[in-house]
Structure 1
Amino acid sequence: MERNITQQLTPATVDFDKPGKQIGVFHVPLSSHDDAWGVIPVPVAVIKNGEGPTVILEGGNHGDEYEGPITLGELIRGLDPAEVSGRLIFIPAINQPAVVAGRRVSPIDGLNLNRTFPGDPLGTTTQQIAAFVNDVLFPMGDVFVDLHSGGSSLDIIPSAVIEPGKTPEQHEANVNAALAFGAPVTVVIDNRGDPRTATASAALAGMTAIGTEMAGAGTVSIDALALCRRGVRNVLAHVGVLPGETVVAPEAPSRLYELTGKAHLIAEDDGVFEPIHKLGTEVRAGELAGRIHFLTQPGRTPIEMHYRADGIVYGRRQPGRVRPGNCCLVVASPYERKPA
């Protein structure tokens, strides 16, 4: 029932079962002050040829993360259907209103798309977009690749992300796909157990699901974009949609980490955060991590913050200005891969 409602309310201009290459949109209804029967055209593309798995590739879940949408746009334009064995479904700017605005969340309803899955076909704009992905696309898919970066508020070590699987077999498939990406660092991230993310919903639907974090800081990283370009192709070759000879081997094996319950260092004061260590630095719990300074109160002693976990500095807040509740630092701890 949900799928039928979603298809009716958000129709697509492409035929997902038609061989060849198609580039179109799906229409999310938006009845606003200046357009009573308007729609938001969200781009979607399909490349289908022969037999093989269906891979859904998503970029622009957050509108201020750019390496993924650039990479997917290049693949849409550059791939010849004859190279493909199976089907590729691209949603390169899935959160179209946020992508246009260059913001993490939608300017229409203020929602974070990656905290609204499985969505609601009768909900707000962001909830309707999530419902289209969850209700219409996920039932077609075997593999889901969700390309993120740190956005405007975080700078993160370029990495592949393992979505925890719902079964040991699915988890192993997720690990193998993420390692195939070929990033120098691969991290297990469960978003504090939040089930409302795109990859968590894809895993719940039975798909192999991985993500990325490609630098950030509100800009396009040259190195992270190069990694994203070759990493996506590596994953597509790993699952058999592109020829195996297209794989670009990494210079060194990926290091495996995870975000534990003590990974995040949260500000409790209003001020300016001074980090002590660069990204990638090995740190230990209890060690000085940074200070919060009070610029308009020069007589006030800065507040010291200390790491809560052993590992490496994985992510760092990009704006220096912080307020209570802001995530200042993220530590990734070594992850021991369990036998399948």
Structure 2
Amino acid sequence: MKTNLSKDLIQCTVDFDRPGKQIGSFYIPLSVHDDAWGVIPVPIAVIANGEGPTVIFEGGNHGDEYEGPIALGEMIRDIDASRISGRIIAVPAINLPAVLAAMRTSPVDDLNLNRIFPGNALGSATEQIAAFVNDVIFPLGDVFVDLHSGGTSLDILPSAVIEPGLTPEQHAENVRAASAFGAPIAVVIDNRGDPRTATASAARLGMTTIGTEMGGSGTVSIEALALCRRGINNVLAHVGVLPQDMATPGPEPVLYTLSPNAHVISEDDGVLETLHPLGTAVRAGELAGRVHFLGQPERPPVDIHYGADGIVYGRRRSGRVRPGNCCLVVASPIEGRGHD
């Protein structure tokens, strides 16, 4: 008989089947020099009432992305369990060590939580967090919403993110859920085909799956946070967990995708100058920016160019670049539905 190691090894203080509102933690074992039997207490909330779907929300997958954790914390505190029909499972600071350190990766083991799913119940702390989510929480869900921002390194147009569906039916559901979120644009992103993301794992388990990008630059965006707050309620109303009068529908989003040539990558070590603000329409081959060599004034800058038609979707925030750094991201319109 197959056992669920994550369920057996990781203590959780909430009862997923109990009605009402519960706020607790699941404990990831962490035996370190100054605490032999310590844990990482990852916060989790379960809000349940009556019959209906289960919607799982995740924030803080990367610890330098703030809008999702803030908005989920507000939802957990403010939502009235009697008004919902179904169940909400919210993990607002899923990568708690990274959230507390304001880092993309965990300071415990230097791992990126969003590149290690489905995790390892017997692995390091971050691997165990992924395994608990994948093996214990995900099987309970019908819909998964993963709230991201650009983090410290990127500024990204606030948008809903469409996880590519594994079937035409699932993909259509993902598009509908992302459209319901209420962002002005929605972008199909497959993370370069990487199957180790939280959304890719959720999609493999059959859930309707979307994400977000809510600004970035290592700050809290006023506009993106407001959008994130609305979007959470909009998705809950879309699937019937909240009544429709709690939604604030937005216009139908313009749909984009990230092509294989979406990312402009530096090949040099220097200082980046970009030429266009977010949302600018650009063409493949057009000059995107320059890399300058400040310690070599005799050396001219190196030009970098866009590899795809579309709009500037993301920009690197740090001026310093090294070979391999992502400088810019272009989102390309789907079926002519992008901006001219």
* TM-score of the two chains, using structure 2 as the length reference: 0.98
- Residue 291 of structure 2 corresponds to which residue in structure 1? 292
**AA aligned opposite 1:303:** V
Partners of 1:3 and 1:135 within 8 A in 2: no
2:94 corresponds to: 94
Matched, 1:76 2:76: yes
One-letter amino acid matched to 1:117 = F
User: What is the one-letter code of the residue matched to 1:225?
Assistant: L
Please report how far the alpha carbon of residue 232 of structure 1 lies from its aligned counterpart in structure 2 after TM superposition.
1.0
1:240 has 2:240 as partner: yes
Q: How many equivalent pairs are there?
A: 337
In structure 1, distance between residues paired with 2:55 and 2:10: 21
* RMSD of aligned Cα (Å): 1.2
Partner of 1:312: 311
Identity %: 72
SS of the aligned residue for 1:333 comes to strand
**Aligned position for 2:174:** 174
Aligned to 2:300: 301
Extract unaligned runs of 5+ from structure 1.
Answer: none
For 1:79, the aligned partner's letter is: I
Matching residue of 2:35: 35
CA distance, structure 1, for counterparts of residue 306 and residue 69 of structure 2: 34
Judge conservation of contact 1:259–1:333 (CA < 8 Å) in 2. Answer: yes
In the TM superposition, 1:1-340 aligns within 5 A as 4-250=4-250, 252-336=251-335
Q: Structure 2: which 5+ residue stretches go unaligned? A: none
- The answer to whether the Cα contact below 8 Å between 1:155 and 1:217 also exists between their aligned partners in 2 is yes
Q: Compared with structure 1, are the counterparts of its residues 2 and 57 closer, same or farther at alpha carbon in structure 2 (3 Å cutoff)? A: farther
Aligned partners of 2:2 and 2:222: how far apart in 1?
41
In 1, distance between residues paired with 2:335 and 2:161? 15
Amino acid at match of 1:181: F
Greater shift in the superposed pair: 3-12 or 87-96: 3-12
1:2 to partner: Cα distance: 7.1
Give the whole-Å Cα distance in 2 for the aligned partners of 1:2 and 1:62: 32
- Paired residue secondary structure (1:93): coil
Do the aligned residues in 2 keep the contact of 1:2 with 1:135 (CA within 8 Å)? Answer: no
C-alpha distance in 1, partners of 2:294/2:194? Answer: 36
CA contact (8 A) 1:2 1:121 kept: no
After superposition, the C-alpha distances for 1:116-171 in whole angstroms (9 at most, x for unaligned) are 10000000100000000000001100000000000000000000000000000000
What secondary structure does 2:29 align onto? Answer: strand
Separation in 2 of the partners of 1:123 and 1:73? 29
Q: Determine helix, strand or coil for the equivalent of 1:88.
A: strand
Find the aligned partners of 1:125 and 1:2 in 2 and give their Cα distance. Answer: 23
Amino acid at match of 2:330: V
Alignment CA distance shift 1:159-1:80 (3 Å): same
Q: Give the partner amino acid of 1:240.
A: G
Query: Helix, strand or coil for the counterpart of 1:158?
Result: strand
Alpha carbons of structure 1 residues 337 and 298: separation in structure 2 relative to 1, 3 Å: closer
Partner deviation per Cα, 1:249-269 (whole Å, 9 max, x = no partner): 22x331100000000000000
- The 2-side partners of 1:65 and 1:120 are apart by 24
CA-to-aligned-CA distance 1:277-300 (integer Å, 9 cap, x gap): 000000000110000000111110
CA distance in 1, matches of 2:296, 2:4: 59
Give 1:337 shift.
9.3
- Supply the distance in 2 between the matched residues of 1:171 and 1:249 (Cα, whole angstroms): 21
TM-score by length of 1: 0.98
